[in-house]
Structure 1
Amino acid sequence: MGKFTALFFLVMFMIGTDTFLISPLIPTLQAEFGVSTGHAGWMIGAYTLGSALFALIAGPLSDGWNRRTVMLCGLLGFSAATALCGFADGFWTMCLLRFLAGVSAAFTAPQVWASIPAVMPASRIPKTMGVAFSGLAASQAFGVPIGSWLAAAHWSVPFWTIGAASLLLAAAVFRLMPDVKPAAAPPGGRAAILRRYAPLAASSRARSGFLAYLLLHLGSGASLAFAGKWMADRFALPVGQIGTVMMFLGLGTLLGSLLGAYPARKLGRANAAAAGLALIAALYVLGPHLGSLPAATALYLLIFALLGMVFPVIMEALTSLNASIRGTISSLANATMNGANTIGAWISGLLYAQLGGYAAIGLFSAVCLLLALGAFLAGGVLAERAPARGGEAAAKP
């Protein structure tokens, strides 16, 4: 069973590494392709756009397919699209290939979460879920910085490396993963896929929760998208050193995700999330004005640690909206996250170029997080709820 745990961790690590790989490379790619700062964010946004558009259908559709086959095909497409990014000869070619990589990731990641209950004993499902989630946090701590160090040789090397590693992972899936076939075709076919979203659309708590989740990722995504550009401009850091700073930020996320359950238990879910979001908003405003690299690194490490603590609390609240459609909720959350990151990267580029650089982005991120907090609290999404009969909590309109 340990082989499945390691496999799921590595798949999520690879997808997480690729998600924000371009962030520290923006100054280099901007010069390589001769693209303006206002448009450079689309090299990040193209990936998240592809993932957001297809996440809504990838999860529900794959419920009727062999998950091993879907994961294998997704990884092969992900490997090819990412490796080809290293051969991109222009801005629009890079955006197209990043879009295709995002589409492939949208089909790959849901299979991890859906396959864990099918291949793991019940007693090991929670731990395996946690290990898979930690793969995303570890990707920010180690994967993105490693990519930045590889880019010191040439900007294309990280893309080729991730493409080759993903191909090896596909071979491991082919050899190690058993078939995970659906017990029966989903009733009602395609129409049923759309109907799975109906309880969420009818629930005011769900609408408030996903609006808040959109705002949360809009703010955090905008801040992260041009963090590498700001470091290069503010502190004259080369791409390799930007990767080192990103490693500390990723370690903050990993630390926060590992320790996040403690404040939620001590303070309660609503209080822990509210305190975390309010503090992050204040730090977003302060961060761009720091003139010392160590101080800036420490502050953003704290921001990412707090985000690592808050995100699991919020995801727990969202998935408890309706226990019978948790897969659909996860797909919608993934689409919301990537859609928000897409818009955030675009807005971030405009703010950086037109309205005073990273300070404008920090203010925008702070406003987004405060609005997210207001939506969470107004909708009662973070309120502690007793489980419904049978251990499931249903969404109430």
Structure 2
Amino acid sequence: MKKLTALFFLIMFVIGTDTFLISPLIPTLQSLFHISTEYSGWMVGAYALGYAVFALIAGPLSDGWDRKKVMLSGMVCFSVSTILCGFATGFWSMFLFRFLAGVSAAFTAPQVWASIPALFPAPKIAKVSGIVMAGLAASQAFGIPIGSLLATTHWSYPFFTIGVCSLLVAIFIFYALPEMKPKHDQRSKIPIFKRYVPLLTSRIARRSFLAHFLFQCGFFAAFSFIGKWMTDRFHLSIDQVGYVMFFLGLGNMVGSISGAYVIKRLNRFNTMVVGFLVSIACFIALPHLPSVSVFEGVCFLIFVNMGIAFPLILGLLNSLNPTIRGTISSLANSIMYAATTLGSWIAGLIYATFNGFSAVGIFAAICFAGSLLSFMFSGILTTHSKTKKEHAS
């Protein structure tokens, strides 16, 4: 069981590292490929676009396939497409290879979450899920800074390194993961998109997913251009940006580890309200901070909140309908990467138009405010609390 837990951790680590690798490299690639600022965000958005489009199909489709074969094929394609990014000769070749990496990840990552309940006994599912979630947090704390440091030698080295590591993980999948052939039941005969009908017809679900979209859109709009802003404002090099990203990734890990304790002390509603209000204030203040150290401290608070809020939001969404959690996870992932695509694109436009990060910070703050209001008016917080009390009684 420890072997499988380590495998799933590594899968999420390499996918998480690759997801945001472009962020600290934007200034370098922008200069190398002669890309304007308003279009540079698409180097982040291409990966997210591929993931967002295919996650809606990949999750329900793979329910009818052997999950081991899907995971193995997805990881091999992910490795190849990431390595090809290191051979990109311009914006459009980088866009294509990043898009293909996102498509591959869309078929790989959902298999991890779907495999955990199938391979682990019920008492261990929550613990294993937490460890796997930590793989994403660790990718920000360690993967992205390491990629930034490798890029100081040559911009392509991070892509080659992650690609080779992904291939090693694929070999690990081949030898360690058992076959998981589907059980054919009536649900597998339901057309793919009809499986989303229960969510689309629910007012609580619609508002909750809208809140999830706004939350991710605001965060990733800011995150995509934090590296560029530090370079423009404080004249940091790529390796210096990498060290800052390492510190921010630690903030995400702190939030992930302490989230359960914070929620227990404050409850879900208060945790969300306090965390979102603090983040809104931080986004507005970020562009006006006088030094790198203060900037790091404020960003650290945002990333701590992200580490607490993200699992909380996923837990709330999965509580909407326990019978279709696989479909909910696919939709949540698709929405997250659609938000990343839109957020990074808008951030590039307004960063260029208003010549700096101020408008990006305000945009992120507005998104967080809209997300908080949408969660509050959806009723999911009170509904989830009542459900837990009913189960407890």
Q: Same fold (TM over 0.5)?
A: yes
Contact 1:219 1:365 in 2 (8 A): yes
Contact 1:14 1:139 in 2 (8 A): yes
Q: Partner of 1:387: helix, strand, or coil?
A: helix
After TM superposition, the score normalised by the length of structure 2 is: 0.97
Say whether residues 1:93 and 2:123 are aligned partners: no
Change (3 A) 1:136 1:186: farther
CA shift for structure 1 position 264: 1.4
Percent identical pairs in the alignment equals: 54
Contact 1:63 1:186 in 2 (8 A): no
| Structure 2 counterpart of 1:239 | 238
2:360 partner letter: I
CA shift for structure 1 position 187: 3.9
CA shift for structure 1 position 186: 5.6
CA shift for structure 1 position 389: 11
Q: Which moved more, 1:7-16 or 1:274-283?
A: 274-283
Q: Which moved more, 1:354-363 or 1:335-344?
A: 354-363
Contact 2:141 2:252 in 1 (8 A): yes
1:53 partner letter: V
Alpha-carbon distance in structure 2 between the residues aligned to 1:82 and 1:188: 32
1:294 partner letter: S
Alpha-carbon distance in structure 2 between the residues aligned to 1:146 and 1:286: 28
| Structure 1 counterpart of 2:264 | 265
1:59 partner letter: G
| Structure 2 counterpart of 1:306 | 305
Q: Which moved more, 1:333-342 or 1:122-131?
A: 122-131
Contact 2:64 2:188 in 1 (8 A): no
Contact 1:75 1:105 in 2 (8 A): yes
1:170 partner letter: A
2:330 partner letter: S
RMSD of aligned residue pairs (Cα, Å): 1.5
| Structure 2 counterpart of 1:162 | 162
Alpha-carbon distance in structure 2 between the residues aligned to 1:386 and 1:303: 29
| Structure 2 counterpart of 1:103 | 103
1:38 partner letter: E
CA shift for structure 1 position 124: 1.8
Q: Partner of 2:65: helix, strand, or coil?
A: coil
2:361 partner letter: G
Q: Partner of 1:260: helix, strand, or coil?
A: helix
Q: Partner of 2:88: helix, strand, or coil?
A: coil
Say whether residues 1:82 and 2:82 are aligned partners: yes
Q: Which moved more, 1:193-202 or 1:38-47?
A: 193-202
Alpha-carbon distance in structure 1 between the residues aligned to 2:297 and 2:183: 50
Contact 1:49 1:99 in 2 (8 A): yes
CA shift for structure 1 position 387: 2.9
CA shift for structure 1 position 385: 2.9
Q: Partner of 1:340: helix, strand, or coil?
A: helix
Alpha-carbon distance in structure 1 between the residues aligned to 2:120 and 2:265: 31
CA shift for structure 1 position 123: 2.6
Contact 2:22 2:43 in 1 (8 A): yes
Alpha-carbon distance in structure 2 between the residues aligned to 1:347 and 1:183: 43
Q: How does 1:1-397 map to 2 (within 5 A)?
A: 1-184=1-184, 187=187, 189=189, 191-383=190-382, 384-387=384-387
Alpha-carbon distance in structure 2 between the residues aligned to 1:286 and 1:212: 23
Alpha-carbon distance in structure 1 between the residues aligned to 2:301 and 2:389: 40
